[in-house]
Amino acid sequence: MINVAIMGHGTVGSGVAEILINEQDRIADAAKEQINVKYILDLRKFDGLPYSEKFIDDFNIIAEDDEVKIVIEVMGGINPAFDFVKKCLQKGKSVVTSNKELVATKGAELIKIAKQNNANFLFEASVGGGIPILRPLVTCLSANEITEIKGILNGTTNYILNKMIVDGMDFDEALKLAQENGFAEKNPAADIEGHDACRKICILASLAFKKHVYPEQVNTQGITNIDLDDIEYADNFGYVIKLIASAKKLPNGNITANVRPTLVKGDNILSSVNGVFNAVSVTGDAVGEVVFYGKGAGKMPTASAVVADVIDCAKHINARKYLYWEDSFNSYVENFDEECILYVCAKSNNYNELFENIISLFGEDISMIKTKNNDGIAFLTKKELESKLMEKINLIKADEIKVLHTID
Amino acid sequence: MINVAIMGHGTVGSGVAEILINEQDRIADAAKEQINVKYILDLRKFDGLPYSEKFIDDFNIIAEDDEVKIVIEVMGGINPAFDFVKKCLQKGKSVVTSNKELVATKGAELIKIAKQNNANFLFEASVGGGIPILRPLVTCLSANEITEIKGILNGTTNYILNKMIVDGMDFDEALKLAQENGFAEKNPAADIEGHDACRKICILASLAFKKHVYPEQVNTQGITNIDLDDIEYADNFGYVIKLIASAKKLPNGNITANVRPTLVKGDNILSSVNGVFNAVSVTGDAVGEVVFYGKGAGKMPTASAVVADVIDCAKHINARKYLYWEDSFNSYVENFDEECILYVCAKSNNYNELFENIISLFGEDISMIKTKNNDGIAFLTKKELESKLMEKINLIKADEIKVLHTID
């Protein structure tokens, strides 16, 4: 029998407790070992539950109990999660977490501590909820050199954009609906400003490229500046707008990483990812592109990924399994100038001048459309180095210019 | 250093040899151990290769060499692959294979022999080429009870159907193009008659439900009876036709499994899987639906999956890792009568009588369309038990009737 402790009894934590306690036999079967939830750490009281006697409010009880071999951290945030996880690893306890903020900002440090103390540190649930992605990346794709990772990593923003695209709702209305349906937080900033997707691409890129990518190194843009007109013009060109997080290996060994609203071509599988679903596309030198798709959040999907890590820990309690990467240097993540097609929407009170101006800069044979109030032009550039395109875009005489990236 | 032998130097075998030999350092890094290809078994001569000295034509050299710890079987077919693999496992050698026919027909037996001899038996590459699917199914989804697996498991038929759908090619023309592009064999029967997809769903279902599903237990239909008209009528109803392989757990513990051309609704992610791509959808009680997508065949994708298994074997040469299931009993796979929507295309030289007949049997409010030569009706039934629907369909007075299943 292996004793475990759960730190945090919120949405994911209560799901983990329910699976481990209610599905004991099935879990024991999969782990080849009985898993016993010895403690649940939470400052709140949960009196009505069948497992109320397991609750404690003092972390030290877990830290000092040598019988507890696996600690599940599902509290979220950095404080006190970081200190607690660090102490557990230092005591040689294995840790399973779903905390993306913790892994994205402190991953390299915690992985090092886990290694030094011969403990497991697993965090499958931190990216893509229940979608298997981190473990396939390190095991099944181990014969590949990973060259690029891109995907839709945030269900809230995908839901909002999808409502705008399919139902013609405006941003505020779609956000309100997402909040009503429990798909967005009361304070939605972390989602709609791209921070959540940023943390996840940091974890994926760190694992794929073996060096820590920190959130502040990633260019991160949210979806708040996307309006229904952009969505309509994009549709007109055969694209849909998605919040795409991406990381790519550069020839010099560095990487480039971005989170930004992006026009995705209609025949790209990512354009078909609707509602709260997530999808992660991984490109390897041998395998080509593989995509992992599913619900990226939610109590039970995320809890099931945490429990799968616990099972894996229990099966290999003496064989060390940690997802591995090193710390990185400052200039590791860089802006990279590469060929791309940009979407540009320019507005001016002198339409004819604007038209002539754009034609003279970008050529006559570009895909373009007059904006709805006849006050501007939306168009796709030809494929060219981004720096060259930006030079031209800066020469457009317009009152207002919006530029978005595209992917085929 | 770990010595391995490769049996078979065809498309996949040569890819495996190239990765293991050319990418030695990267593989050693991933496996934490140098991997040395000691022998390549093939009756043919490959004199021009940089590793020509490794070729042998006598299997016994491999079987009798105790230094060879891992044997890679990429010969295909049952004979002599089955005997060779069996002997290797009996000698305690681990075996990695991409041979779906072998695993689908002899899996339970070989898994048992591997277990008895404390050897690994891994076969990630047997389903979905380089797409990670078997390992995620048993590890990442281990906290789930799997209830259903369905997918597009054959790239050749998906390519042909896609050419029919997108380019309006007829079946023969599309097959010819697939052959010209190397996506279909000269003798395409195994693909177009559904046998290849059948073997793969057998492996997936065996692993998900832990009992062997044999190919002859699965209702298997190919795509040869699908014509351009069906594709057009399906499109009219908002569906695309795909060859779908599926297996589902029944309330009585048995399963039901089918391979058949199926109308897939346009908003189902499987409808967006184009060209030679494959996709496998897995439904778990906690995680909901997750989908794995990528190229399901090809030299390097498949070879990279084989090599990943070799790396996994090498990392756990003393810890046993086999994908596990038991043998099954005769009635384990059954036909199951469940509610469904069927697509029916009925033709008659008396259109008006046919129309009245269908309306009287299925109601006035069904989706229907007159066939192109005004000689019949294509329609979607309402959702009802399949047996009830078939009773009604048998009452249609028509010269010709085609029935296809649908999924939402």
Instruction: Give all strands (DSSP E) within B50-175, no chain letters.
Output: 55-56, 68-73, 94-97, 121-122, 146-152
CB proximity A317 to B under 8 Å = no
Confidence of residue B316 (pLDDT cuts 50, 70, 90): confident
Residues of B marked active site are found at: 200
* Tokens representing residue B6 in the block: 């490769």
Report how far residue A122's alpha carbon sits from residue A119's, in angstroms, rounded to the nearest whole number: 10
CB proximity B167 to A under 8 Å = no
Interface test with chain A among B144, B270, B280, B289, by most A beta carbons within 10 Å = B144
Residue A169 CB partners (closer than 8 Å, separation 6+): A163, A177
Assess contact for A385 and A337: CB atoms under 8 A: yes
Assess contact for B133 and B245: CB atoms under 8 A: no
Instruction: Decide if pLDDT at A39 tops 90.
Output: yes
* Tokens representing residue B141 in the block: 């989804």
Q: What is the mean pLDDT of residues B272-300?
A: 93
Confidence of residue A296 (pLDDT cuts 50, 70, 90): confident
Q: Please give the span between the terminal C-alpha atoms of chain A, in angstroms, as a whole number.
A: 51
* Tokens representing residue A83 in the block: 């200190």
Which residues make beta-bridge pairs with B39?
B5
Q: Do B288 and A143 touch (CB under 8 A)?
A: no
The three-state secondary structure class of A386 is helix
Residue A232 CB partners (closer than 8 Å, separation 6+): A372
Contacts of A142 in chain B (CB under 8 A): 30, 307-308, 311-312
Quick one: which of A144, A145, A122 has its CA closest to A135? A122
Assess contact for A142 and B312: CB atoms under 8 A: yes
* Strand A94-97, strand A68-73: pairing: parallel
Mean pLDDT of chain B: 95
CB proximity B166 to A under 8 Å = no
Quick one: which of B56, B74, B4 has its CA closest to B34? B4
Quick one: which of B50, B63, B260 has its CA closest to B151? B260
Assess contact for B99 and B263: CB atoms under 8 A: no
Report how far residue A370's alpha carbon sits from residue A376's, in angstroms, rounded to the nearest whole number: 6
Looking at the complex, report in whole angstroms how far the Cα of residue A348 sits from the nearest Cα belonging to chain B.
Answer: 38
| DSSP annotation string for A219-280 | EE--STT--HHHHHHHHHTTEEEEEEEEEEE-TTS-EEEEEEEEEEETTSGGGG--TTEEEE
Residue B263 CB partners (closer than 8 Å, separation 6+): B234, B237, B239, B240, B241, B343, B404, B405, B406, B407
CB proximity B296 to A under 8 Å = no
Instruction: Decide if pLDDT at A351 tops 90.
Output: yes
pLDDT tens column, A195-249: 999 999 999 999 999 999 999 999 999 999 999 999 999 999 999 999 999 999 9
Mean pLDDT of chain A: 95
- Residue B329 burial (CB < 10 Å; 0-12/13-18/19+)? exposed
Instruction: Decide if pLDDT at A318 tops 90.
Output: no
Q: Do A269 and B272 touch (CB under 8 A)?
A: yes
pTM over the 0.95 mark: no
Assess contact for B340 and B389: CB atoms under 8 A: yes
Nearest residue on chain B to A309, judged by CA atoms? B140
Interface test with chain A among B140, B152, B285, by most A beta carbons within 10 Å = B140
Interface test with chain A among B19, B23, B139, B281, by most A beta carbons within 10 Å = B139
Q: What is the mean pLDDT of residues A135-139?
A: 89
Q: Do A305 and B288 touch (CB under 8 A)?
A: no
**B303: nearest CB among A23, A286, A288:** A286
Q: Residue A263 has what pLDDT?
A: 98
Q: Do B307 and A143 touch (CB under 8 A)?
A: yes
Enumerate domains of chain B plus CATH numbers.
2-130+299-330 (3.40.50.720), 135-295 (3.30.360.10), 339-407 (3.30.70.1150)
CB proximity B325 to A under 8 Å = no
* Tokens representing residue B165 in the block: 């759908």
Q: Do B142 and A312 touch (CB under 8 A)?
A: yes
Q: What is the mean pLDDT of residues B203-217?
A: 96
pLDDT tens column, B82-110: 999 999 999 999 999 999 999 999 999 99
Percent of chain B beyond pLDDT 70?
100
Report how far residue A27's alpha carbon sits from residue A19's, in angstroms, rounded to the nearest whole number: 8
Q: What is the mean pLDDT of residues B319-337?
A: 87
Q: Do B293 and A298 touch (CB under 8 A)?
A: no
Q: Do B139 and A312 touch (CB under 8 A)?
A: yes
Q: What is the mean pLDDT of residues B172-196?
A: 94
Q: What is the mean pLDDT of residues A172-183?
A: 94
Contacts of B319 in chain A (CB under 8 A): 316, 319
HSE, side-chain direction, 13 A CA sphere, residue A260: 15
Q: Which of residues 171-210 of B touch A (CB under 8 A)?
A: none
Looking at the complex, report in whole angstroms how far the Cα of residue A308 sits from the nearest Cα belonging to chain B.
Answer: 5
Which residues make beta-bridge pairs with B151?
B245, B280
- Residue B365 burial (CB < 10 Å; 0-12/13-18/19+)? exposed
CB proximity B315 to A under 8 Å = no
Report how far residue A384's alpha carbon sits from residue A373's, in angstroms, rounded to the nearest whole number: 30
Contacts of B305 in chain A (CB under 8 A): 140, 143, 287
Instruction: Decide if pLDDT at B143 tops 90.
Output: no
Q: Do A284 and B304 touch (CB under 8 A)?
A: yes
pLDDT tens column, A70-117: 999 999 999 999 999 999 999 999 999 999 999 999 999 999 999 999
Report how far residue A245's alpha carbon sits from residue B294's, in angstroms, rounded to the nearest whole number: 19
Q: Residue A45 has what pLDDT?
A: 86
Q: Residue B236 has what pLDDT?
A: 97
**A288: nearest CB among B19, B269, B301:** B301
The letter for the amino acid at A33 is E
Instruction: Decide if pLDDT at B320 tops 80.
Output: no
| DSSP annotation string for A38-73 | EEEE-SS--TTSTTGGGEES-HHHHHH-TTEEEEEE
Report how far residue A104's alpha carbon sits from residue A99's, in angstroms, rounded to the nearest whole number: 9
Q: Which of residues 108-127 of B touch A (CB under 8 A)?
A: 124
Q: Do B291 and A292 touch (CB under 8 A)?
A: yes
CB proximity A147 to B under 8 Å = no
Of A69, A100, A200, A321, catalytic: A200
Q: Residue A237 has what pLDDT?
A: 97
Confidence of residue B61 (pLDDT cuts 50, 70, 90): very high
Nearest residue on chain A to B138, judged by CA atoms? A30
Q: Do B301 and A308 touch (CB under 8 A)?
A: no
Report how far residue B294's alpha carbon sits from residue B130's, in angstroms, rounded to the nearest whole number: 7
* Strand A255-265, strand A219-220: pairing: parallel
The letter for the amino acid at B103 is V
The DSSP symbol for B33 reads: S
Percent of chain A beyond pLDDT 70?
100
Q: What is the mean pLDDT of residues B365-370?
A: 96
Q: Which of residues 24-83 of B touch A (CB under 8 A)?
A: 26-27, 30
Assess contact for A38 and A3: CB atoms under 8 A: yes
Confidence of residue B194 (pLDDT cuts 50, 70, 90): very high
**B311: nearest CB among A143, A273, A300:** A143
Q: What are phi and psi of A163, to 5 degrees?
A: -65, -40
The letter for the amino acid at B29 is D
CA angle A214, B133, B199 (to 5 degrees): 165
Q: What are phi and psi of B163, to 5 degrees?
A: -65, -35
CA A300 to chain centre: 18
Q: Residue B317 has what pLDDT?
A: 79
CA angle A332, A335, A338 (to 5 degrees): 125
Looking at the complex, report in whole angstroms how far the Cα of residue B31 sits from the nearest Cα belonging to chain A.
Answer: 9
The DSSP symbol for A334 reads: -
Q: Do B144 and A294 touch (CB under 8 A)?
A: no
What b/e sequence results for B2-34 when a residue is b if at least 16 CB atoms lie within 10 Å of its CB, and e otherwise?
bbbbbbbbebbbbbbbbbbbebeeebbebbeee
The H-or-E segment that residue B193 falls in is none
